Amino acid sequence: MVAQDPILASNQDGEIRCGDNGIFRGVPLTEEERTLSKIAHDIYERYPSDGKYVLGNGKLIICQSNAKTEDLKKLYPTAVINPLGDWSGGTDVDSGATNRKLGSDMAQSVSGGGLMGKDLSKADVSVNIYAFLKAQKTGKPVELFCAIGDTEIDGKPYREIVEIARNYITRIGGFEKFAEWGLF
């Protein structure tokens, strides 16, 4: 019997096969998304609580709980900050300035929340990550198709797709960070 990888599902012969059907797309990030993601990470390091951010038409809007407007104004002097005044998030609000929120607010839905689960053999995790990374590398949208049991996707053995996804998850700090920040 072949030893099982604790994170990967495999069939009885130990070969890693695609564990889902689907069409998976990767889209290159826009400059606004890259900038906004950096801003969100920077703010979250200082204020790890609820925040919302929008960048468009040359205008940056920062709404950050548990932060003084004047302090944020020093960091981002041209931004519109807390337009309704300083505020505190309650105990039941979203936890922080995550790219999941940026994805929904900026309309490209580059979120990690929908890609939860720790089984990298599932295409909705590994192929989504691979498509995203390929789109960033090529600068072009990527569309990949697969079916349960496929051993090859995009001309690569499925095991290689899974390893690329595993390396990405490891590099960003694990599935918890992935769920928090998504594909940014």
pLDDT at 103: 52
pLDDT at 75: 94
pLDDT at 30: 84
pLDDT at 140: 94
| Domain presence at residue 17 | no
> In what helix (H) or strand (E) does residue 166 lie, and over which residues does it extend?
helix 158-172
Yes or no: say if 101 and 132 are a contact pair by the CB < 8 Å rule: no
Residues 73 and 123 in one domain: no
DSSP string, 13-78: T--------EEEEE-PPPHHHHHHHHHHHHHHHH--S-EEEEEETTEEEEEETTS-HHHHHHH-TT
Q: Which residues span the domain enclosing 123?
A: 22-29+110-181
- Mean per-residue pLDDT pooled into runs of 10, the chain (184 residues): 45 70 84 84 85 84 90 95 79 50 51 57 82 93 89 93 92 80 66
pLDDT at 183: 66
Boundary of a domain, candidates 72, 106, 140: 106
Residues 73 and 94 in one domain: yes
pLDDT at 50: 77
pLDDT at 98: 52
Boundary of a domain, candidates 106, 129, 161: 106
